[in-house]
């Protein structure tokens, strides 16, 4: 999945295959920019402050956010320094073309300088590679892709699902092959588990034949890294993505090509591959920081004034454009469209007041 998506984002215009919230309405990026400005006030207006975006796509969200902030929060606009985490050279060029100033690009968060930070990421985590484990004959196999088909292999050394004693759910552990107790040639290796962070998933591992569990280690590492940064230097990170509130077993890998579901195996690098984001796993990984949400995207955006702002903008537009602005707001917020499956999660400094949109 990592290689297929790297090839995909490097060579394609992903927005021919799927549409994201910032491409649906300019108001999405505007309200997220204002969210960052309000959070910056709550942080005590640090100057300079890093405004980081992960996976900025065409740069639309950041361009809309900067425009709104320049109008409504000039102090924040002057203090902020834009840093973009983006691996695709093609998309970096698209971002440079729409942004009003020189920005710094990074392949990952590691090279983003330390300092007070506000981070935005929309539909970024769902593009990161997952690992899938499948239950076969009472044991767990890991599912790989080889020659354009799925293959399953017994789990060897490495991070693996770790069933805990009954009632304690499951965690992630390190599975190590050991020689049999006698060490005699021909004896089956025994496996020992060492329990590791993060804390365990609260639900039991599914036991049925063919049950699937997924892990997304890169997403978890980003949550942990962001938690360390905001706890040490101040700030908050806002992730918007789609997935369930609680860790849930199941196969969520999806390929999208030309706006339609596709077979993830037939053309690696030609379709966008995504998987559900496990918000509960992110929250568990963000130790040290305070986690707010997840809150359904519809509720979150409504609290940030999506409809009021769309309405104000619509009043200045011709009727067709005005109607499409209001329809776009509904598409992002209605529960049976993007309002419920999509969620917002914030990882913040423990002393920061509850950020806008996350009120209980
Ligand atoms: N946030 C944008 C784009 C979402 S598509 C929007 O809402 O429209 C996913 C984005 O993440 C693309 O910009 C893609 O190039 C980037 N991306 C995917 N995998 C990445 C990785 N491992 N590291 C950095 N960026 C990545």
Nearest CA to ligand 1 atom 2: 57
Cα–chain-centroid distance for residue 78?
28
d(C-alpha 153, C-alpha 138), whole Å: 14
pLDDT tens digits in sequence order for the chain, 360 residues long: 888 888 888 888 888 778 999 999 999 999 999 999 999 999 999 999 999 999 999 999 999 999 999 999 999 999 999 999 999 999 999 999 999 999 999 999 999 999 999 999 999 999 999 888 888 887 777 888 877 788 887 765 445 555 544 454 555 554 444 333 333 444 333 333 444 444 455 566 677 888 888 888 889 899 999 999 999 999 999 999 999 887 777 888 888 888 788 888 877 788 889 999 999 889 988 989 999 999 999 999 999 999 999 999 999 999 999 999 999 999 999 999 999 999 999 999 999 999 999 999
For tokens 């993505």, the residue is 241
d(C-alpha 195, C-alpha 191), whole Å: 13
**Measured between alpha carbons, how far is residue 66 from residues 29, 31, 147, 286 in Å?**
9, 11, 45, 28
User: What pLDDT shows up at residue 134?
Assistant: 84
Q: Are strands 139-146 and 290-296 parallel, antiparallel or unpaired?
A: unpaired
Q: Which residues contact 60 (CB under 8 A, 6 or more apart)?
A: 22, 23, 26, 29, 98
User: What pLDDT shows up at residue 335?
Assistant: 94
What separation in Å is there between the alpha carbon of 87 and the centre of ligand 1? Answer: 8
Pocket probe mutation, ligand 1, options 55, 99, 238, max atoms within 8 Å of Cβ: 55
d(C-alpha 62, C-alpha 54), whole Å: 10
Q: Say what the pTM is.
A: 0.89
Backbone angles phi, psi at 2, to 5 degrees: -65, -45
318 three-state secondary structure: coil
**Cα-based angle 352, 358, 360 (whole degrees, multiple of 5):** 105
What separation in Å is there between the alpha carbon of 54 and the centre of ligand 1? Answer: 7
Pocket probe mutation, ligand 1, options 56, 84, 124, max atoms within 8 Å of Cβ: 124
Ligand 1 contact via 324 beta carbon (within 6 Å)? no
């Amino acid at each position: 999945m990592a290689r297929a998506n790297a090839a995909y984002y490097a060579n394609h215009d992903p927005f021919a295959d799927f549409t994201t919230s910032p491409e649906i309405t300019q108001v999405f990026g505007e309200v997220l920019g204002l969210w960052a400005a309000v959070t910056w006030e709550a942080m005590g207006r640090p100057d300079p402050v890093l405004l980081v975006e992960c996976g900025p796509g065409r740069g639309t969200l950041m361009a809309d956010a900067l425009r709104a902030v320049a109008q409504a929060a000039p102090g924040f606009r002057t203090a902020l320094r834009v840093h973009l985490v983006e691996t695709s050279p093609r998309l970096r060029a698209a971002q440079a073309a729409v942004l009003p100033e020189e920005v710094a690009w990074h392949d990952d968060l590691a090279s983003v300088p330390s300092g007070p930070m506000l981070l935005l990421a929309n539909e970024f985590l769902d593009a990161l590679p997952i690992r899938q484990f499948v239950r076969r004959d009472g044991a767990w196999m890991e599912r790989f892709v080889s020659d354009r088909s799925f293959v399953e292999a017994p789990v060897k050394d490495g991070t693996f699902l770790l069933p805990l004693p009954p009632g304690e759910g499951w965690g992630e552990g390190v599975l190590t092959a050991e020689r049999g107790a006698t060490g005699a040639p021909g004896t089956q290796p025994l496996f020992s588990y060492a329990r590791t962070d993060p804390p365990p998933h609260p639900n039991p591992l599914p036991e049925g034949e063919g049950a699937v569990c997924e892990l997304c280690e890169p997403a978890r590492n980003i949550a942990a890294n962001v938690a360390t940064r905001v706890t040490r230097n101040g700030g908050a990170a806002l992730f918007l993505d789609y997935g369930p509130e609680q860790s849930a077993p199941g196969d969520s890998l999806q390929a999208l090509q030309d706006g339609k579901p596709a077979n993830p195996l037939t053309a690696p690098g030609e379709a966008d591959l995504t998987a559900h984001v496990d918000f509960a796993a992110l929250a568990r990984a963000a130790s040290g920081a305070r986690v707010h949400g997840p809150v359904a995207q519809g509720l979150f955006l409504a609290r940030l004034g999506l409809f009021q702002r769309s309405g104000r903008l619509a009043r200045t537009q011709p009727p067709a454009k005005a109607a499409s602005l209001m329809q776009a707001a509904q598409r992002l917020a209605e529960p049976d469209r993007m309002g419920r499956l999509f969620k917002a999660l914030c990882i913040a400094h423990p002393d920061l007041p509850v950020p806008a949109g996350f009120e209980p």
